[in-house]
Amino acid sequence: MHGQTCPGARIFRQPKPESFPCPGCGSEVEIWTDEFRRPCPRCGRVVFRDAGLGCLEWCAMAEQCLGEQAYGDFMRRKRSTVRERLLAEIAEHFGADRRRIDHAKAVLEHAEEILRAGDAADWHIVVPAAILHDVGIKAAEEKYGSAAPRYQEAEGPPIARRMLLRLDYNRDHVREICNIISHHHSPRRGETPNFQVVHDADSLVNDRRRIMDGEDLGFYTDAAADIARRMQKGKSSAESGVR
């Protein structure tokens, strides 16, 4: 009965169309309330809803309201949309700096691989933090020049917070994401599983050469250590083939 009266479940079970302006050409794009995005029929740019589906994202009763399959479909679509939208944000933020954009994508790829391995972490935190972990480097370079790496952790959280709040992201999640960004190169004692996944994913990208040389980096997660071993094994196999 609860699912019949819950507003969040109702917009999923009884969707209706809403209009959103295309940021590319200004045309009105119809997106139903159970959708997160739709391509603009005029210019083809993907248009996202301005907000999520409210309580369905965080309510403890959401799965019971919708049913297991419908709730699973909702969360997969939500995850995909958050991922796409933040990747679009980071691409716009860094502009022509392909190296920074590609780095964010590489860290995200490793973070998602660690998550799929069953690590006790939350994608709501890990996916945005992986994409946005270095978002402060641009502002730090503009302010501090060659000293930027020392300041990017301080510059990143306010920028990430603005991006996430534009997505109407859960504020508790925003706080944890920004906390990870604020010290992702400076681990502390007792780090959360979410921090550990982001840190390990970043290390797999930043320290690839050390990994390939066989150095043990002491990863937090077993999944990251397994990835590193596969990287080393792949190098050994390639070298054997050359000989």
The pLDDT of residue 105 is 96
- Domains of the chain listed by start with CATH number: 1-66 (no CATH), 80-242 (1.10.3210.10)
The pLDDT of residue 235 is 65
Q: Would you call 3 helix, strand, or coil by DSSP?
A: helix
How big is the CA angle at 224 (ends 220 and 226), to the nearest 5 degrees? 120
Which residue type occupies 73? Answer: D
- Cα-flanking dihedrals φ and ψ of residue 31, to 5°? -125, 125
Which residue type occupies 50? Answer: D
- pLDDT 10s per residue in the chain (243 long)? 444 556 656 666 677 888 889 888 989 999 887 777 788 889 988 787 765 545 666 666 767 777 777 767 776 777 778 888 899 899 999 999 999 999 999 999 999 999 999 868 999 999 999 999 999 999 999 999 999 989 999 999 999 999 998 887 889 999 999 999 999 999 999 999 999 999 999 999 999 999 999 888 999 999 999 999 999 887 655 555 544
The pLDDT of residue 129 is 98
Cα 28 to the chain's mean position, in Å?
28
Q: What whole-number distance in Å separates Cα of residue 213 and Cα of residue 166?
A: 42
The pLDDT of residue 1 is 42
The pLDDT of residue 138 is 96
Q: What whole-number distance in Å separates Cα of residue 200 and Cα of residue 223?
A: 9
Which residue type occupies 156? Answer: G
Read off the pTM. 0.74
Quote the strand ranges of the chain, DSSP E.
17-21, 28-32, 37-39, 46-48
The pLDDT of residue 219 is 96
Q: What whole-number distance in Å separates Cα of residue 221 and Cα of residue 181?
A: 19
CA atoms within 13 A on the CB side of 213: 6
Contact 205, 110 (CB under 8 A): yes
Contact 204, 224 (CB under 8 A): yes
Pairing type for strands 37-39 and 17-21 reads unpaired
Q: In which residue are the tokens 């700096």 written?
A: 97
